[in-house]
Amino acid sequence: MQKLRSLLLEVPKTEIHLHLEALASVDTIWTLMKKHKISYADISSKDDLRKRFEISSLNEFLDLFINVIQDCFRKEEDVDLLIKDAQNYLSRNNIVYAEIFFAPSKFLQNGLEFAELIKRLSAGSGNIERNTGIETRFIIDVSRSFGRDNARANLDLTLKHRNGTIVGIGLGGAEEAGPARDFAPIFEIAAAEGLHVVAHAGEVVGPESIWDALKLLKAERIGHGISAIQDDTLVEHLAERQIPLEICPTSNLLTQKYVKTLNEHPIRALYDRGVNVTVNTDDPTLFGIDLVDEYMRLTNRGFFKPDEIINLVKSNTYATFLPQERKDAIWAAAQKIVASYSAELEIA
Ligand code: ADE
Ligand code: ZN
């Protein structure tokens, strides 16, 4: 197992489902609370902050995510701290390319300027690349939690201030509260303007939510998508079209809607039925997960064998929005590392 862990660390990886604000370290949030003299009920130490993220539902998590984590950002320059946290996380996991959600709604509500935020995030992305060679791109997350008009305003700002670091828009937030159909016209404009389109769906709502994301939003990838397992026709559709599912196993265990233990997680069944599944962390620092650990957990009691884990690493790379030749280059570099471990791990 130690050998597999070393391989997983050494192999160049990509990640396609993680939230920038959820990369905030406890130190970052604590620094901002002190800087802006913010206090929250039940949070009077860094330990309290850590404990608040022991959650038991998506709604409980989103309340903290929006009203504590995002709320601490009161000046545009505060996001520079997130860039540092992102660089730490990506380097520690040897992730060479990541598509990272950024949800501007709460920042705008707090009076921050979209143009300045994007300028700082893009400069931060450039700094990460200069410092480490790691490439990052952003997906603007128009949260269902803030409603349709707000999502439209987010899209207008995105189109106005867009630069090469923004590759798409996504639908996140409270899945039960905002049906995809409310957001369809916004996603249609986004796609026509050349943005990639993704959506969280089937995280806490049944397969109908995934169908809506595919048919009404024309989502190119589905965030989570775990309720697909309840609908055979949908599983066949996903497998036939090879629509990537951005699966975040530990996040699903913590939000507790469909799975209580990893063995109950449908990732294995979806994989066996030919669905294009990828492994991601969703909210790494807030949930205390590293991508390498996420893969390792899937090897427990043979849930996935080493060669299947490597196949999942490959699927993630090919599910990115990178040009084909960059995907091929990352995978070629990965294969060299895999080959050097193949005898020990019986990987073909
Ligand atoms: N925003 C941050 N994490 C999220 C999740 N797991 N689901 C929906 N929106 C989110
Ligand atoms: Zn997410």
pLDDT digits (tens, 9 = 90+) for 155-211: 999 999 999 999 999 999 999 998 999 999 999 999 999 999 999 999 999 999 999
280 neighbors 18 (Cβ within 8 angstroms)? yes
Alpha-helical regions (H) of 163-216: 184-192, 207-215
The DSSP H or E segment spanning 148 is helix 147-161
DSSP 75: S
pLDDT given for residue 344 in this prediction: 84
Report helix angle 147-161 to 114-132, nearest 10. 60
- Of the candidates 83, 216, 197, the residue with the CA atom closest to the CA atom of residue 142: 197
**What pLDDT is stored for residue 282 in this prediction?**
98
pLDDT digits (tens, 9 = 90+) for 322-347: 999 999 999 999 999 999 998 888 77
Q: Is the dihedral of CA 197, 253, 29, 173 positive or negative?
A: positive
Q: What is the mean pLDDT of residues 62-82?
A: 97
Confidence of residue 280 (pLDDT cuts 50, 70, 90): very high
Residue 261's domain comprises 2-345
Average pLDDT over every residue of 43-52: 92
203-224 as b/e: b if 16+ CB within 10 A? bbbebbbbbbbbebbebbbbbb
C-beta separation of 144 from 172 below 8 A: yes
Q: Mean pLDDT for the chain?
A: 96
Identify the residues whose C-beta falls under 6 Å from ligand 1: 19, 22, 58, 65, 172-173, 200, 203, 251, 282-283
* Residue 301 pLDDT: 82
Tell me, yes or no, if 220 is annotated catalytic.
Answer: no
Q: What is the mean pLDDT of residues 285-314?
A: 95
For residue 5, which of 312, 311, 296, 257 has the smallest C-alpha distance?
Answer: 296
Centre of ligand 2 to C-alpha 3, Å, is 30
pTM for this entry: 0.98
Asked if 287 and 281 count as a contact pair (C-beta separation under 8 A), the reply is yes
Q: Which atom of ligand 1 is nearest to the CA of 103?
A: 1
pLDDT tens, position by position, 226-244: 999 999 999 999 999 999 9
Return the residue whose CA atom lies nearest to atom 1 of ligand 1: 173
Number of domains in the chain: 1
Q: Alpha helix locations (H) across 44-78?
A: 46-52, 58-64
Residue 262 confidence (pLDDT): 93
Which amino acid is it at 290?
Answer: D
CB 348 within 8 A of CB 338: no
Please give the sequence-ordered ranges of beta strands (E in DSSP) within the chain, or none if there are none.
13-19, 95-102, 135-141, 166-171, 196-201, 221-224, 245-247, 277-279
The 10 Å Cβ neighbour count of residue 328 is 13
CA 127 to chain CA centroid, nearest Å: 21
Please check the confidence at residue 348 and state whether its pLDDT lies above 80. no
pLDDT (0 to 100) of residue 343: 83
Task: Give the number of the ligand closest to the Cα of residue 202.
Answer: 1
Can you tell me the mean pLDDT for 27-43? Answer: 96
Catalytic one among 21, 99, 203, 294?
Answer: 203
CATH code at 263? Answer: 3.20.20.140
Integer-rounded Cα radius of gyration of the chain: 19
* Residue 250 in this model has a pLDDT that exceeds 90: yes
